A and B are shown apart, each in its own frame.
Chain A
Amino acid sequence: MVSLRTAMAVWLSVAVLFGVLLGLAERSRSRMDDPDPAYQRTGALLPAGLLKAPPAIAGFPRPGHRLAVFFVRSASAQILFDDLALQSDLSALADVVVVAADGSRPNITHGVQAVVPDPDGTIVRAYGLRAPLDGGYPVGYALVDREGFIRHRTIDPHCVGFGHDWEIRALLRAS
Chain B
Amino acid sequence: MNRTNLAACAFCVLFLLAEIGLYGAYRHHDGRFHWFLHFFIGASTALFAMSITSWCTRRPVRFPLLWVLAGHLLAMVPDFLFLWFSIIHQNWMDVFLWHIGAHFVPGRNFTWYVIFLLALATYLLVLRRRTVPGRASSRQERLLAGDTSRPLS
Query: Is B82's CB under 8 angstroms from A170's CB?
Result: yes
Q: Are B104 and A38 in contact (CB under 8 A)?
A: yes
**Nearest neighbor of A171 in chain B, beta-carbon distance:** B88
List chain A residues, Cβ under 8 A from B113: 18-19, 22
Residues A41 and B31 in contact, CB atoms below 8 Å apart: yes
A1 partner, pick from B86, B89, B127, beta carbons under 8 A: B127
Inter-chain CA distance A14–B118, complex, in Å, is 11
CA distance A10 to B29 in the complex (A): 31
A26: nearest chain-B partner, CB-CB: B109
Contact A45 B33, beta carbon cutoff 8 Å: no
A132 to chain B, nearest CB (A): 14
- Any A CB within 8 A of the CB of B25: no
Nearest Cβ in chain B — how far from A68, in angstroms? 15
Contact of B88 among A7, A19, A45, A164 (CB under 8 A): A45
Complex CA distance for A29 and B5, rounded to whole angstroms = 39
Tell me the residues in window 1-33 of chain A with beta carbons closer than 8 Å to chain B beta carbons: 1-4, 7, 10-11, 14-15, 18-19, 21-22, 25
Within 8 Å CB of A38, what residues of B? Answer: 33, 103-104, 108
Contact between A7 and B36, CB atoms less than 8 A apart: no
B124/A10 in contact, CB under 8 A: yes
B74 within 8 A of A: no
A2 to B132, CA, bound (A): 10
- Encode contact with B along A148-174: 1 for CB under 8 Å, 0 otherwise: 000000000010001010110111011
In contact, A7 and B89 (Cβ under 8 angstroms) = no
Whether A36 contacts B109 in the complex (CB less than 8 A), given A11-B124, A22-B36, A43-B88, comes out as no
Q: Which residues in A have their C-beta under 8 angstroms from that of B104?
A: 38
**A135 at the B interface (CB under 8 A):** no
Interface presence of B150 (CB below 8 A) = no
Within the complex, which residue of B87, B110, B124, B133 is in contact with A7, where a contact is CB–CB below 8 Å?
Answer: B124
Q: Which residues of A contact B109 (CB under 8 A)?
A: 22
Contact A2 B124 (CB under 8 A): yes
The residues of A that contact B36 with a CB separation of less than 8 Å are 21-22, 25
| Residue numbers in A under 8 Å from B90 (CB-CB) | 44
CB interface residues, B 26-78, toward A, < 8 Å? 29-33, 36, 78
Partner of A166, one of B32, B86, B127, B131: B86
In the complex, chain B residues whose CB is within 8 Å of the CB of A4: 128
B132 x A1 contact (CB < 8 A)? yes
User: Which residue on chain A has the smallest CB distance to residue B114?
Assistant: A15
Residue ranges of A at the interface with B (Cβ–Cβ < 8 Å):
1-4, 7, 10-11, 14-15, 18-19, 21-22, 25, 36-38, 40-45, 158, 162, 164, 166-167, 169-171, 173-174
